[in-house]
Amino acid sequence: MAKRIDVSGLSAFYGTTKAIEDISMTVEPRSVTAFIGPSGCGKSTFLRTLNRMHEVIPGARVEGKVMLDDENLYGSNVDPVAVRRSVGMVFQRPNPFPTMSIYDNVVAGLKLAGVKKKSVLDGVVEKSLKGANLWNEVKDRLNKPGAGLSGGQQQRLCIARAIAVEPQVLLMDEPCSALDPISTLAIEDLIGELKTQYTIVIVTHNMQQAARVSDRTAFFNLAGVGQPGKLIELDDTQRIFSNPSVQATEDYISGRFG
């Protein structure tokens, strides 16, 4: 189920502005890779190139290669819709569909894929909500609106929705930045459990969080305002936070800038 991501020479643009430049990295399957770096360094943009969500913004485009095992996501005959089915995403702010019940939110992806059988859907709902550590809290009100849950529960619902379609990779764009510490802890525990099955990439502003949840950490930085963001270094999380090989990384994690 989990696949390796291999990025080479990737640049992303908004119109004529280059947001990230020449990024190459490998993300191992069944691991958590954290992206850290100052605001505007392009870590979210880079994340969104990994499931071709970058290009839904008008004028945005990508150059370079993203290999998911041996398939190039930017190959000429690859359908971005199919890419997004195999690379799931969780957003910064919880975004369950407000017009849908908890149940319908979880199966939204499956319904798009054409699964209609009630027994299959029921099974997936229970499995996904259990996988997202939400089942016990919502099992008696699956038909209530998803927007009625607390922020942390909504975010776990979004994770359940993302894993319901059994993606190969799970991308998380600052999934805890809109949540309180308790909910954050719940999500972090969940990430630890999910990594046994999925390749997980998480963008975070919180360096303690990166240190807690990730196996590998990538540090992004930009030379100045208006300059494209670049990957500075990618290494084992422990090494990044104890003995990084680049000075800028050390300056950033020790709080000297950013």
Give the footprint of another protein on this chain (CB under 8 A): 51, 53, 56, 58, 81-82, 84-85, 88-89, 91, 93, 95-101, 108-109, 112-113, 144-145, 147-148, 158, 161-162, 165, 177-178
Nearer to another protein, 146 or 228 (CB): 146
CA distance 241 to 250: 8
Mark residue 60 as left, alpha or beta (left: phi above 0; alpha: psi -120 to 50; beta: remaining). Answer: beta
Nearer to another protein, 66 or 231 (CB): 66
**Shortest distance, CB of residue 205 to another protein, whole angstroms?**
9
**Shortest distance, CB of residue 168 to another protein, whole angstroms?**
12
**Shortest distance, CB of residue 95 to another protein, whole angstroms?**
4
Bridge partners, 36 (sequence order): 219
Nearer to another protein, 29 or 145 (CB): 145
CA distance 258 to 252: 6
Nearer to another protein, 101 or 184 (CB): 101
CA distance 40 to 56: 19
Alpha-carbon separation of residue 184 from 7, 115, 188, 216, 251 (angstroms): 29, 32, 6, 20, 26
**Shortest distance, CB of residue 207 to another protein, whole angstroms?**
16
**Shortest distance, CB of residue 35 to another protein, whole angstroms?**
17
CA distance 102 to 109: 13
**Shortest distance, CB of residue 162 to another protein, whole angstroms?**
8
Nearer to another protein, 60 or 232 (CB): 60
Closest CA relative to residue 92, chosen from 148, 47, 48, 155: 155
The one-letter code for the residue type at 202 is I
Nearer to another protein, 74 or 227 (CB): 74
**Do the beta carbons of residue 197 and residue 166 sit within 8 Å?**
no
